[in-house]
Amino acid sequence: MTTRFQVIVLNGGSSSGKSGIARCLQAVLPDPWLSVSIDALVDSMPPSLRQSGDGIGFAPDGEVSVGPEFRTLQKAWMTGVAAMAGAGAHVIIDDVFLGGAASQEDWRTALAGLDVLWVGVRCDARVAAGREIVRGDRPRGMAESQADLVHKGVAYDLEVDTTRTESLECARTIATHVG
Amino acid sequence: MTTRFQVIVLNGGSSSGKSGIARCLQAVLPDPWLSVSIDALVDSMPPSLRQSGDGIGFAPDGEVSVGPEFRTLQKAWMTGVAAMAGAGAHVIIDDVFLGGAASQEDWRTALAGLDVLWVGVRCDARVAAGREIVRGDRPRGMAESQADLVHKGVAYDLEVDTTRTESLECARTIATHVG
Amino acid sequence: MTTRFQVIVLNGGSSSGKSGIARCLQAVLPDPWLSVSIDALVDSMPPSLRQSGDGIGFAPDGEVSVGPEFRTLQKAWMTGVAAMAGAGAHVIIDDVFLGGAASQEDWRTALAGLDVLWVGVRCDARVAAGREIVRGDRPRGMAESQADLVHKGVAYDLEVDTTRTESLECARTIATHVG
Amino acid sequence: MTTRFQVIVLNGGSSSGKSGIARCLQAVLPDPWLSVSIDALVDSMPPSLRQSGDGIGFAPDGEVSVGPEFRTLQKAWMTGVAAMAGAGAHVIIDDVFLGGAASQEDWRTALAGLDVLWVGVRCDARVAAGREIVRGDRPRGMAESQADLVHKGVAYDLEVDTTRTESLECARTIATHVG
C-alpha cells in the first residue's frame, strides 16, 4: 500500500527547521519524494532580481519584500510544481507563506485536484532567532520577523513544533499521517 | 520588444560549462530567466536514490547510470518545467542528454507547443577532464565519458564551444539568437 | 577588560553541534575570534588523501580511520594553529578527538604555554544520529559511532550538552567562562 | 626524490583562477600539499568583521578595504601558516596581495627560512570580470579592480596566465618548477 497524498506542504518561518524536516521525510518515507523549496526557487532566479524592487529584497531588519517580477516567476513555479505532482512525482514543498492565508490560497489554486497534506512548522521566535545565528548564512532578523506572520489565517492538517522536538521526530510524526 | 523564445535548452557533458553559461545568460538577457538543471533535480531527490539501482549511480570511471525510479521523477520534472514555461516563466534548462537523441525526444514531447532554442555546449574531452579537476567536486571521469556521447544524434539551433571561448562570450552569442 | 583565554577547544562527536556553537561564540564574544576546524583541515588536504590508506577513510558504518600522511599534516596543522594563537589571534578549535585522551595530549603539547579553555560538547548518540539525517551532508553512522568515543579520558573545564539545549545557549554558557 | 620547496605562494586578483590552480597542484604534485587561502581565512573570521570598519569591506564597485582587526588576525594567520610549513607540511598559499609589494614583504617576513616558490597568477582584467559573472558568487567588480593592482612591485619565480591557458596546464607548468 502506498500513500494517497501527492504533496506535502511545509510552511514555516525562516530557521524554523522546514528543510531539515524535508530531508528527514525523504529518509523515512518509503516512496521517493522530490523536495522543492522557495529557497531553491530564489537561487534559480537571476541575481539581479535580488537587488531590484521588481525582485526580492532583504531589509536590514530581516524583513523580506517581493516585487512584481518575483511574483510572476513564483506563480509560474507553483504551476510547475503542481504539474510535477500531477505527473506522478511525490513532492514536498518547503515554503514561507509571507502572505499568510493569501499564500495558502495561491497554493490551493495551483494544487487543485491533488491530495495535499498541509503542515505548519512552528518554532518559538527567540529559538528560531538563535538558530539563525547557528546557521550563519541567513540575514539576521528573518527568523524573528517571520515566526508568527507566516501562520496567520493558515489552515493545517497537522502542526509540528521544532522548539523542543527534533526535526527527525517531527518528520516521523508527519510520516504517520502520510502513510 | 521581447524574445519569442520561452525556453533555452543547454545540452552538454559534465564540466563543459553549461551552468556558467546559464548564469551568464541570466546576467545578459534583458528579461528575467529561471535557471533549472539536472544537477538541481538530483539534489532534490532522496539521498537513498543516489545509492540504489533504482536511482542514479556513478561508476568509478565516471559513467552515470539511472534506474526506473530516477526516470519516473525525471519525467515528472520535465513536465513540471514545461508547465513553468507555459505559465509565463522564461526558463533555461541545463541538462546532460545521457540518451542523446532519445533524451532530446523526451524534452520535445514535454515542451510541445513552446518556443525552444536548442543549444549544444561542446568542450574538448581532455579540456573538460582538466576542468573537472579544477572544480574538484565531481567524480573523475564524468567529463571525458560524456563529452561526445551526449551530442549523438541531437539537433541544435546553435552550438557553442567552451574549449577556447569564455562562457560569457558563449552566452553573448546565444543571447543574440534569443533576442 | 578582555579575556585571559587565547584558545577555546570544542571537542565532540560528529553532529554534536560544535560548529554551530563556534559560530555563536563568534557572535556573542566581544573580541574577534578565529574559528578553525578539523573539517576545514580535511577540506584543505588533497582529495586523493580521502581515498587512500595513507589519508582519511570513512567506512560504510561511519567509522573514520586516518593514516600516516593524514597524521603528519594534522600535527603540522596543530603547530600552526598554536602559532596563530601565540601571535595574538583568539582561536576557537572545533575538533573530534578520535583518539580520546591521546588526542587531547597532542593538543596540550601543541598549545603549551597558551591559556586554553577545554570544552566538551556532548549530545545523546541517538539525537546526534537524527541530526546527521537532518544535515544530509555527512556519512551516516559517524554521529553514533563517535558520540561517546571522543570523550574517553578527556578532561574538561566545562561541558555542554546540546541534546536539549540550543547551541546559542551553550555558547552563552561557555562565554561566561571565557570572561 | 622529493621537492626542496616547502611553500608555493599563488598571488593573483579575484577570479584569476588561483584556487583552481591550487586544486590542480594538489592533484598533480606527488607529495600531499595543504591548500590554504585568504578566502578561507575570511570565512573563519566572525561575520561581524565583514560588516564593520575594523574588518573587511566590499564596496559596490568591488573594491576591498581592510581594517585594523582584520590585519591583526591576518598577521597571526600568516605566522600560523608559516609554522605549519616549518612543522613539515607542504603548503600552497592562495592570496590576493591588495598591498602589492608590501604584502609580499609581509609574507617574506613570516616565511623567513622556508623555501618558497613565488608564483604570479595573471588574467586579463576583462576576462577575469567575465569569469566573475560565470561564478556568480563574488561581488561584481572585484576581478577588474584587482587584476593589475595585486602584482604591483611583486617579484616572482614564475608567472602563469590563465587568460588563454587552462588551470590544469598552469598547474603543470608550476609543478615542473617545484621539481
Residue the block writes with cell 598549545? C111
| Share of residues in chain C with pLDDT > 90 (%) | 81
Please identify every residue of C annotated as catalytic: 39
Percentage of residues of chain C with pLDDT beyond 70: 99
Closest by CA position to D120, among listed D7, D50, D16: D16
Residue B5, amino acid: F
Q: From B71, which residue of chain A is nearest by alpha-carbon distance?
A: A89
Number of other residues whose CB lies within 10 A of the CB of residue A148: 12
If you measure CA to CA, which chain B residue comes closest to D17?
Answer: B134
Quote the cell numbers at residue D88. 613539515
- Contact yes or no for D23 and B134 at CB 8 A: yes
Asked if A29 and A40 touch (Cβ cutoff 8 Å), the reply is no
Q: CA B136 from chain center: how many Å?
A: 20
Cα separation of A10 and A96, whole Å?
A: 8
Residue C70 dihedral angles phi and psi, to the nearest 5°: -60, -45
Q: Which three cell numbers stand for residue C74?
A: 594534522
* Mean pLDDT for the stretch of residues D38-67: 86
- Helix pair D18-28, D167-178: axis angle to 10 deg: 50
Interface predicted TM-score of the whole assembly (ipTM), two decimals:
0.94
For chain A, the average pLDDT equals 94
Alpha-carbon span A53 to A49, nearest angstrom = 8
pLDDT given at position B57: 85
Q: Please, what's the b/e burial string for D85-105 (b: 16 or more CB within 10 A of its CB; e: otherwise)?
A: bbbebbbbbbbbbbbbeebbe
Q: Could you tell me the pLDDT band of residue A33, with boundaries at 50, 70 and 90? A: very high
Specify the range with the lowest mean pLDDT, choosing from A82-96, A113-127, D125-139: D125-139
Q: Which of A39, A54, A124, A157 is catalytic?
A: A39
Contact B55, B45 (CB under 8 A): yes
How large is the angle between the packed helices A68-86 and B68-86, nearest 10 degrees?
Answer: 140
Q: Which amino acid is at D4?
A: R
* Whole-angstrom distance, CA of residue D75 vs CA of residue D72: 5
Taking contacts as CB-CB distances below 8 angstroms, the residues of chain C near A130 are 24, 166-169
Chain A residues with a Cβ under 8 Å from any Cβ in chain B: 23, 26-27, 32-36, 40, 44-49, 54-55, 69, 72-73, 75-77, 79-89
Q: How confident is the model at residue C60 (pLDDT cuts 50, 70, 90)?
A: confident
pLDDT at A2 (0 to 100): 61
Q: Grid coordinates in use for A44?
A: 534559480
**CA count, 13 A, side-chain hemisphere, C75:** 13
- The predicted pLDDT at position A58 comes to 82
B72: distance to nearest CA of chain D, Å?
32
The 3-class secondary structure across C38-62, one letter per residue, is HHHHHHCCCHHHHHCCCCEEECCCC
Cβ(B121)–Cβ(B11) under 8 Å?
A: yes
Chains adjacent to C (≥3 CB pairs closer than 8 angstroms): A, D
Q: Are A12 and B28 in contact (CB under 8 A)?
A: no
Interface test with C, best of D49, D78, D79, D109 (most C CBs within 10 A): D79
Distance CA A175, CA B35 (A): 32
Q: What are phi and psi of D31, to 5 degrees?
A: -80, 160
CA dist C175 and D123 (Å) reads 45
User: Cα–chain-centroid distance for residue A22?
Assistant: 9
Torsion sign over Cα C165, C167, C172, C178: positive
> Please, what is the average pLDDT of chain B?
94
Share of chain B above pLDDT 70, in %: 99
The pLDDT-based confidence of B65 (bands split at 50, 70, 90) is: confident
Residues C4-33 have a mean pLDDT of 96
Q: Collapse the DSSP code of B74 into the 3-class scheme (helix H, G, I; strand E, B; otherwise coil) and give the result.
A: helix
Question: Residue D8 to residues A4, A177, D27, D68, D177: CA-CA distances in angstroms?
Answer: 60, 58, 14, 27, 10
CB contact under 8 A, B130 and D167: yes
pLDDT at residue A89, as a whole number: 97
Q: Which residues of B touch D (CB under 8 A)?
A: 17, 20-21, 23-24, 27, 127, 130-131, 133-136, 164, 166-169
Establish whether B106 is a catalytic residue: no
Helix and strand element counts for chain D (H, E)? 7, 7
Complete DSSP assignment for A64-130: EEE-HHHHHHHHHHHHHHHHHHHTT-EEEEEE--TTTHHHHHHHHHHTTTS-EEEEEEE--HHHHHH
CA distances in angstroms from B10 to A6, B94, B150, B161, listed in the order given: 30, 5, 11, 12
Q: What is the full DSSP assignment across D17-79?
A: SHHHHHHHHHHHSSS-EEEEEHHHHHHTS-GGGGGSTTSEEE-TTS-EEE-HHHHHHHHHHHH
The HSE-up count of residue B104 (CA atoms within 13 Å, CB side) is 21
- Between C88 and C4, the higher pLDDT residue: C88
pLDDT level of residue A135 (50, 70, 90 thresholds): confident
| pLDDT above 80 (res B53) | no
pLDDT of C1 > 60? The answer is: no
Comparing A9-18, B169-178, C1-10, C115-124, the range with the smallest average pLDDT is C1-10
Average pLDDT of the segment spanning A57-63: 82
Nearest to B34 among A33, A44, A81 (CB): A44
What average pLDDT is seen over chain C? 94
How far apart are the C-alpha atoms of D167 and B49, rounded to whole Å? 34
Q: For CA atoms D132, D138, D144, D150, give the dihedral sign.
A: negative
Give the pLDDT confidence score for residue A23 in this predicted structure: 96
Residue pLDDT, tens place only, D95-136: 999 999 999 999 999 999 999 999 999 999 999 999 999 888
Q: Is A154 exposed, middle or buried (0-12, 13-18, 19+ CB in 10 A)?
A: buried
Helix A125-135 and helix C18-28, axial crossing angle in degrees, nearest 10: 100
pLDDT of residue C2: 61
Give D58 or D105, the one with higher predicted confidence.
D105
**Dihedral angle sign, alpha carbons of residues D123, D125, D127, D131:** positive
Q: Cα separation of A96 and A151, whole Å?
A: 9
pLDDT score, position C10: 98
Mean pLDDT, all residues of chain D: 94
| Nearest CA-CA distance, residue B48 and chain D, Å | 29
The listed range with the strongest mean pLDDT (A58-72, A141-155, B132-146) is A141-155
Position C86 pLDDT exceeds 80: yes
Q: Is the pLDDT of residue D17 over 60?
A: yes
Determine which of B60-64, B75-79, B152-156, C108-112 has the lowest per-residue pLDDT on average. B60-64
More confident residue, B48 or C91: C91
Whether residues D167 and B134 touch (CB distance < 8 A) is answered with: yes
Q: What is the mean pLDDT of residues A4-14?
A: 96
| pLDDT classification of D164: cutoffs 50, 70, 90 | very high
pLDDT at residue D1, as a whole number: 45
Confidence grade of residue D22 (pLDDT, cut at 50, 70, 90): very high
Per-range mean pLDDT, top range of B51-55, B56-60, C129-133, C156-160: C156-160
For the residues B23-35, what does the mean pLDDT come to? 96
What are residue A23's phi and psi, to 5 degrees? -60, -40
